[in-house]
Structure 1
Amino acid sequence: MRFPLLLLCSLLICAGCSENVVTTAETSAPEFQNPILAGFYPDPTICQANGKFYLTTSTFAYFPGLPIFESEDLVNWELIGHAMDRPSQLNTMGSGVSGGLFAPGMTFHDGVFYITCTNVSGGGNYIITATDPAGPWSEPTYLPEVNGIDPSLFFDEDGSMYIVYNSIPPGDSSLYSGHRTIRLYAIDRESLSVTGEQTLLVNGGTDLSQEPVWIEAPHIYHINDYYYLMCAEGGTGPQHSEVIFRSDSVRGPYEPWDQNPILTQRHLDPDREHPVSYAGHADMVELENGDWWAVFLAVRPYEGNYFNTGRDTWLAPVRWTDDGWPVINPDFEEVQFSYPTPLGTTVDATGDRFSGNIVFTDEFEGDSLNLRYLFLRTPQEKWYDLSDGELTLELRPETASGRGNPSFVGHRQHNMTGEASVLLDFEPSADNESAGLIAFQNERRFFYIAKTMADGQPVIQFKKSVDSREGGTEVIESAPAPEGPVQLRISFDGADYALSFAGADGDWQTLAEGLDGKYLSTDDAGGFVGVVLAPYATSDGQESDNTASFEWYRYAGNDAVYR
């Protein structure tokens, strides 16, 4: 089978530069490349257990929810499972793609892993537990008294358990837009229910007189003589930041540091080369050697505030000041695309990568889907099959424009530059039947290259979403389909997208190029997710017995620009 040119180039790039391993001449120390989880992996939270690190992120309306990553050194990460992988745990049907699961907090205590999170589409805040982070995780225990988002758990030295979270202003009366608070409850460890009275820890933010907005994502750490409360402030956009408070009691009062924020990029020129923006929503962890490191979200705009890859997970060192305050990224004004690895280890360029130049090929030879894939909302039935080296999707009435669970097997767009491609075996029998590859931002913003039927003949079409309440698609370009299986490809370079197709062994033909990818950007489309590339099939509102088979899916992304 012929490899697309960009895929070959990316393979050569990865082989030639050892992917995201960099060595500095000054220190001869190995370096890692940021982001450590590239693409739609926002709101990271981290904990340490049994000599390893574990991390999870938000997934919103996608299923399964809350990916669980494991690492021995903070830079080589393996996806080992998902915390919410059963429909009984998570139902996001009917939700917009930016609904569902917001901002988890993960903790390990006394042999048990805990995750607390908010399902904004139903149920609110909950706690799940596991003794093995790869799962299975428990059914959710909901906390109806915890009214807010972004919860995290804290265990004190005496075993006391607390939940801290973002909530409404005192008296439910906002003094200004974006006025929020940080609150705390004690939790009973046996029943996982709240106990006692709620405590208001922070009202508004670091300085209420300045009307700070969206104080959120709290984490509490007990370090030496102080309880530290670390929060995001400014909203998850260009004004995002991380701030720190401390107290000699877990219930406060908490004093903000007079040098806040401890991390932000909001003061930098947005037109600088290769900007990092939106930095905030952090969590931090101490290594065995006493060093501290923080994970946080940030984005890689290609122009202004436009980015399509979503909010990534980044890693940076933490340094403590002489008077006992933590600073993230202490040696630089700009967040760096590379730092010396925390433990002096090298980055494995041969494994299943989630950063740097990412090449992923799936020929569907196993009996289960790769853990990388996402369904759009919670499946209510099994509509796919893996057999004979193919992924077969049933054509069903559900569409990407709706709020159901379409026949959609998604893979994140990790890189600013790259491509995704499939080999599709499908014979449409009616105009409403289509199958192909979709670049999906939300229900009203996607590009779709599909094999379908028009005027009784098989064709390849570029279908663009209709950005309206009614949804649907409009046909932008159409060409006769090659006979037999077809290759379909979506290429991207910043804001520039292109769609092309070929026979199984034929030459590529451009169907559409110069497409404005800002249409798929978070800044233009709204929401909290990034672009997801997916093999997709639909009968567009009508019943069908047809199926579409994909012989392979390939993704090749290139981040060499950041080296």
Structure 2
Amino acid sequence: MAHRTLRRVLLAWLAVAGCAVQAQEAARFDWFDYRGHDAAFEQPLKPSEYRNPVLAGFYPDPGAVRVGDRYYLVNSSFSYFPGLPVSESRDLVHWRTIGHVISRPSQMDFDGQGISRGLFAPTIAYHDGLFYVVNTNIDGGGNFVVTAKDPAGPWSDPTWLRGLDDAIDPSLFFDADGRAYLLNNGPPPGTPRYEGHRAIWMQQFDLATLQPIGPRKVLLDGGVDIRKQPIWIEGPHLYRRHGWYYLSCAEGGTGPQHSQVILRSRSPWGPYTPWQGNPILTQRDLPDDRAEPVINAGHAELLEAPDGQWWALFLASRGYGRTHFNTGRETWLLPVRWQDGWPQILPHGQAIPRVVAGPTDMQRDATQAPMSGNFEWRDDFDRATLDSAWMSLRNASEGWADLAASPGWLTLHPHSDGLDSLHTPAFLARRQQHLAFDASTLLQVPAHSGTAAGLAAFQNETHWYFLGVRRTGAQAEVFLERRDGDATRVVGRATVSPGKAMQLRIAGDGGRYSFAYDADGKGWRWLRRDDDATFLSTDVAGGFLGAVLGPYARIEAAQQPGG
């Protein structure tokens, strides 16, 4: 921690010193506009229907709980800050973000972690007036629990869980007798038989100390049929219904082979018997060349509504080109049908529907924006605090994103950390929620050389675009950088005679992105059209994220070379 503190002090000193010499190091943005226009979202809806996904874009690994007439949902955020968004709904369809579990830099430090590390697969539970979130910081301390009386926050500082080395995906189950149990994915007993061989473990949980106690026991080794060498049994949830305990888990990895399986027992400790018709949800048995494929389906949370109907929130992705998905893993909703004492989400061989009949208490004639459907989202930066949709990479370094310096503008105080670093560049990120979208901004052109500002489309440290502008004497240069691996290349540039402000635009359509600028108010000029952006797809770039977009600024030691 000492070296990180020293580094931040030095960076802060350098930033202050630089600002004293060069005022251009403050990059200012007047507004940011995002518009989605997916063809699949244009399908007409009846008043009783809703659209899938219910949370579009990078909202993976849903964990949820119902308390009275409200539902609360948490999603993975990996190394983004603030971490673990909390969403609220009255009907499982229309959601709004009400806070974040990790909202203070003092709670957790992601500095130095890759963007697909950090916080994996949270779950949320409620018991006796208190909300619990259990989660894993994969490279920063392991498993932990936080609590809150109000799901909107504030949430407590983490209590780190002992004795769970190499464990991930923890979840809590509260039984009718008041006992609490902690489940997790972990290595199997002894030596793994094959790559991806994991197990589901359970241990009693002490609510007074917030620690697991007593012996740990394997509830499920490998998966529903160890003879088939199933991989990555994970995301365990335990439910009780009609005297049965149901163990629901993801199986097959989080890619195209993903699925959800179900087992049951008369005791929480097992033994657990799998349903003969498993899996209860998958899309891996559908043709690869189907139109508008929904892929990666699994990691489900089962919920009972007040009317007794059961529902499943789960992750899936909207693909293009068979396996590409720039929008990441999203949150979807389907009804659950109970038959012969077993829950079933979707029959084998059936495609996940985009339009579904909603719950009986669903809001009628209400838009699902800004979580799903086609919509426009605009931030004029005219509020005292940033909108909850904005995220930063790793930590919120105090002061670099400023709404007070120039009211009505977003001021970014850039530093030398770039999008390729493992620290915190001056980049505000918003999820890409549509396959077809437009993102644009108006910014002040830097007054002097040494600062570049503009829009970034970011997947991870080695896969991103930067559409920027920098001063070159009396002129300005608009440029497009592309990083799709180990090297960064300039793939477009234009010299312009700017006014004080300029508009920049990124337009996406599946795996093709286009980049434009308006330097004089006379309309858009395309710097590069239909660039192959499939490298921003998760299956190409690797990791677990979806693409994000937003304002970005950096200090430049020297003008960037051409490509």
C-alpha separation between the residues in 2 aligned to 1:531 and 1:466? 13
Specify the alignment match of 2:141 in structure 1.
123
Report the TM-score when normalising by structure 2. 0.89
Task: Say if 1:107 and 1:115, in contact at 8 Å, map to a contact too.
Answer: yes
Q: Which residue of 1 aligns with 2:45?
A: 22
Q: Cα–Cα, structure 1 residues 155 and 500, in superposed 2: closer, same or farther, change >3 Å? A: same
1:194 corresponds to 2:209: no
Alpha-carbon distance between aligned partners in 2 of 1:79 and 1:360, rounded to the nearest angstrom: 15
Displacement of 1:519: 1.2
How many Å separate the matches in 2 of 1:407 and 1:329? 44
**Equivalent position amino acid for 1:516 in 2:** D
Contact 2:448 2:473 in 1 (8 A): no
Letter in 1 for 2:376: V
Distance in 1 between the 2:278 and 2:401 partners? 50
Tell me what 1:302 maps to. Answer: 320
Aligned-residue offset at 1:333: 1.1
The reply to whether residue 247 of structure 1 matches residue 265 of structure 2 is: yes
Shift of 1:540: 4.0
1:507 maps onto 2:523 in alignment = yes
* Residue 398 (1) aligns with residue 421 (2): no
- In structure 2, the partner of 1:375 is 392
Alignment match, 1:479: 494
For 2:538 and 2:347, locate their aligned partners in 1 and report how far apart those are by CA, in whole Å. Answer: 29
1:457 positional shift: 3.5
* Structure 2: distance between partners of 1:395 and 1:426: 14
Pairwise mapping of residues 207-246 of structure 1 onto structure 2 (< 5 A)?
A: 207-246=225-264
Q: Contact 1:399 / 1:541 at 8 angstroms: preserved in 2?
A: no
Q: Is the 8 A contact 2:162 2:211 kept in 1?
A: no
State the secondary structure of the residue aligned to 2:535.
Answer: helix
For 2:310 and 2:158, how far apart are their aligned partners in 1? 31
Higher relative contact order (CA 8 A, sep 6+): 2
Q: Closer, same or farther in 2 for the Cα pair 1:285/1:59, shift >3 Å? A: same
CA pair 246-398 structure 1, distance change in 2 beyond 3 A: same
Which letter maps to 2:58?
F
Q: Is the 8 A contact 1:78 1:352 kept in 2?
A: no
In structure 1, the partner of 2:438 is: 419
Is residue 519 from structure 1 mapped to residue 535 from structure 2 by the alignment?
yes
Aligned to 1:539: 555
Q: CA deviation at 1:217?
A: 0.3
Q: By how many angstroms is 1:453 displaced?
A: 3.4
Q: Does 1:429 align with 2:452?
A: no
Alignment of 1:127-138 (within 5 A): 127-138=145-156
* Contact persistence 1:21–1:349 (CA under 8 A): no
20 and 363 in structure 1: CA distance in 2 versus 1, 3 angstrom threshold: farther
- Closer, same or farther: CA 541–259 of 1 in aligned 2, 3 Å: farther
Q: Secondary structure at the residue paired with 2:437?
A: strand
State the shift of 1:121 in Å: 2.0
Q: C-alpha distance in 2, partners of 1:122/1:299?
A: 28
Distance verdict in 2 for CA 1:474–1:138, change over 3 Å: same
Q: Distance in 1 between matches of 2:262 and 2:440?
A: 45
The 5-angstrom pairing of residues 141-160 of structure 1 reads 141-147=159-165, 148-160=167-179
Return the letter of the residue paired with 2:489: E
Deviation for aligned residue 1:494: 0.3
Separation in structure 2 between the aligned mates of residue 228 and residue 451 of structure 1, nearest angstrom? 56
Q: Tell me the TM-score normalised to structure 1 length.
A: 0.89
Q: CA deviation at 1:358?
A: 2.7
**Equivalent residue letter for 1:417:** A
What is the match of residue 560 of structure 1? Answer: none
Residue among 375, 398, 401 paired with 1:358? 375
**Equivalent-residue separation in structure 2 for 1:5 and 1:414 (angstroms):** 13
State how far apart, in whole Å, the 2-side matches of 1:403 and 1:455 are.
Answer: 32
The answer to whether residue 201 in structure 2 is matched with residue 168 in structure 1 is: no
Contact preservation (8 Å) 1:308, 1:518? yes
| 8 Å contact kept, 1:75–1:347 | no
Tell me if structure 2 keeps the 8 A contact 1:398–1:541. no
Q: Which residue of 1 aligns with 2:344?
A: 327
Contact 1:438 1:449 survives alignment (8 Å): yes
Kept in 2, the 8 Å contact 1:20–1:356? The answer is no
1:352, distance to aligned residue in structure 2 (A): 4.8
Report the CA distance between 1:343 and its aligned residue.
2.0
Residue pair 1:76, 1:347 contacting (<8 A) in 2 also: no
Q: Percent identity?
A: 44
1:381 is displaced (CA, Å) by 2.5
Instruction: Find the aligned partners of 1:301 and 1:33 in 2 and give their Cα distance.
Output: 16
Distance in 1 of aligned mates of 2:279 and 2:234 = 14
Aligned length: 525
- Tell me, yes or no, if the aligned pair for 2:261 and 2:279 is still in contact at 8 Å: yes
Q: Which residue of the partner structure matches residue 338 of structure 1?
A: 355
Q: CA shift at 1:475, angstroms?
A: 1.5
Which letter does structure 1 place at the counterpart of 2:483? S
Q: CA deviation at 1:86?
A: 0.6
Paired amino acid for 1:421? S
1:20/1:60 CA distance change after superposition, 3 Å: farther
| Structure 1 residue 4: Cα displacement | 12
Counterpart of 1:63 in structure 2 is: 81
Whole-Å separation in 1 of the counterparts to 2:556 and 2:199: 45
* Secondary structure of the corresponding residue to residue 78 of structure 1: strand
Counterpart in the other structure of 1:550: none
* Offset, 1:364: 0.6
From the superposition, tell whether residues 130 and 495 of structure 1 become closer, same or farther in structure 2 (CA, over 3 Å): same
| Deviations 1:38-78, CA, capped at 9 Å, x for gaps | 00000001101131001010000100011110010111111
CA distance in 2, matches of 1:380, 1:507: 36
Corresponding residue SS for 1:298: strand
Deviation, 1:10, is 5.4
Determine the structure 1 residue equivalent to 2:481: 463
> Cα offset for 1:88?
1.3
1:261 aligns with 2:279: yes
1:98 aligns with 2:98: no
Are the equivalent residues in 2 in contact too, given 1:127–1:140 (CA < 8 A)?
Answer: yes
Please give the secondary structure, in 1, of the residue aligned with 2:315.
strand
Q: 1:86 aligns with which of 82, 93, 104?
A: 104
**Structure 2 equivalent of residue 530 of structure 1:** 546
Distance 2:108 2:44 in 1: 38
2:403 to 386, 392, 404: 386
Closer/same/farther in 2, CA of residues 356 and 534 from structure 1, 3 Å limit: same
**Matched residue of 2:539: which SS?**
helix
- Structure 2 contact 91–363 (Cα < 8 Å) conserved: no
Q: What residue is the counterpart of 1:495 in the other structure?
A: 511
SS of the counterpart of 2:227?
helix
- Mapping of residues 283-298 of structure 1, within 5 Å: 283-298=301-316
Question: Does the 8 Å contact 1:68/1:81 carry over to 2?
Answer: yes
Displacement, 1:269? 0.5
* Per-residue deviation, 1:204: 0.4
The structural deviation recorded for 1:174 is 1.1
CA contact (8 A) 2:286 2:349 kept: no
What letter matches 1:393 in structure 2?
A: L
Letter of the structure 2 residue corresponding to residue 361 of structure 1: R
SS at match of 2:204: strand
Q: How far is 1:380 from its partner?
A: 3.3
